[in-house]
Structure 1
């Protein structure tokens, strides 16, 4: 399966994309995505139900969150009531150690995103504060990266032995699918399936930039 693990809708304060418009764009442009994950900033959207869009467009639509920590931004997959009670998702200085530990305790999966980005990326904080124990997976391909950021992310992840995944970090419709993650041996139909697949480690980051820009 091919999933875009990092997208934002109008639910995020800087998002301008409606979820249905993402679906329409994927089908109009014939992108090879099987689905996408909505990772809204500093919150978890407990109210929205996208099952009707999943059925209409034959796409998997899952929900996660992007939180902000003292070591940059982190995506959290598998958010549940226990994790919502343990963390204040609106806090822009969550301790990354706490996020990683609580995610694991609650059966979720936490991984830093765009780690090569200045100020909000994990690796820029490593330069000043040292390496964080407990990180094992990072987003190495990000559709919003400027030249050099993904290259640094890929190199540092390799040096540190981290697994890598990809996501578009789309905030507008036309950016979805620029980067994604391939799960070659998995059938993912739920957030629990996604957490299991990420934990299992059999995935790889994919860049679809050229294909997306051509269409």
Structure 2
């Protein structure tokens, strides 16, 4: 039984988002045919709310809600899955200058996994930093598809994945309700908890999936008339 999760989302807990979690889940329910995701992972910027409880919303909408974090490092932005007390004591997630290699290694040692997100994005993506600083060690996966990517960004991510053999994830990076589930990750295994997710992310047995609507090609005759 497979599981499809949007691994990169921001609710109103992030300073640049105004999207309530309940609104996300309602949108997913209404558009299940277009974006068949089984759950979302809240990756709030520079924080981790260990006390947040979404069980009532999960029961109401039949959609799983897991929690992770998006942090900022000297190699760009990264998603931290499997956050626990050891990690939050070791790292100040609000620090925008975390050392990427230390983060990757220490999080792995403490039972989690770090996934660089939107790696093809200028300034805050892994691709650009690899050009100037060289590669990091022990990177298992990077985000191949990001719902907020601009032209060329996903292509740069694909280039990085092909060169270094990373596993590929997908996430909407949604800050608006209507963007939830545009990109996601399909796992071959059944996932129910954050521990399940971390275990599966380490295996590489998954693929990025794209639910963004495709633009219909303009008929040749119409294209000629508009010139």
Q: TM-score, normalised by structure 1?
A: 0.96
> What CA distance in whole angstroms lies between the structure 1 residues aligned with 2:30 and 2:169?
25
Q: Paired residue for 2:134, among 130, 133, 138?
A: 130
> Based on CA coordinates, which of the two structures has the bigger radius of gyration?
2
For residue 15 of structure 2, what is the aligned residue in structure 1? 13
Listed as ranges, the matches of 1:16-165 within 5 Å are 16-30=18-32, 31-165=35-169
Classify the secondary structure of the residue corresponding to 2:49.
coil
User: Cα distance, 1:190 vs. partner?
Assistant: 0.4
How many residue pairs match? The answer is 210
Classify the secondary structure of the residue corresponding to 1:22.
helix
List per-residue Cα deviations over 1:67-92 (Å, max 9, x = no partner): 00000000000000011111110000
| Structure 1 residue runs without a partner (length 5+) | none
User: Cα distance, 1:201 vs. partner?
Assistant: 1.2
> What CA distance in whole angstroms lies between the structure 2 residues aligned with 1:102 and 1:52?
33
> What CA distance in whole angstroms lies between the structure 1 residues aligned with 2:156 and 2:126?
11
User: Cα distance, 1:47 vs. partner?
Assistant: 2.2
Listed as ranges, the matches of 1:161-176 within 5 Å are 161-176=165-180
Classify the secondary structure of the residue corresponding to 1:210.
coil
Point out 4+ residue stretches in structure 1 off by more than 6 angstroms.
none
User: Cα distance, 1:132 vs. partner?
Assistant: 1.1
> What CA distance in whole angstroms lies between the structure 2 residues aligned with 1:72 and 1:16?
24
List per-residue Cα deviations over 1:26-56 (Å, max 9, x = no partner): 0112230100000000000122100001111
Classify the secondary structure of the residue corresponding to 1:104.
helix
For residue 194 of structure 2, what is the aligned residue in structure 1? 191
Classify the secondary structure of the residue corresponding to 1:4.
strand
> What CA distance in whole angstroms lies between the structure 2 residues aligned with 1:105 and 1:91?
20
Q: TM-score, normalised by structure 2?
A: 0.91
Classify the secondary structure of the residue corresponding to 1:209.
coil
Superposition CA RMSD, Å: 0.9
For residue 210 of structure 2, what is the aligned residue in structure 1? 207
User: Cα distance, 1:127 vs. partner?
Assistant: 1.0
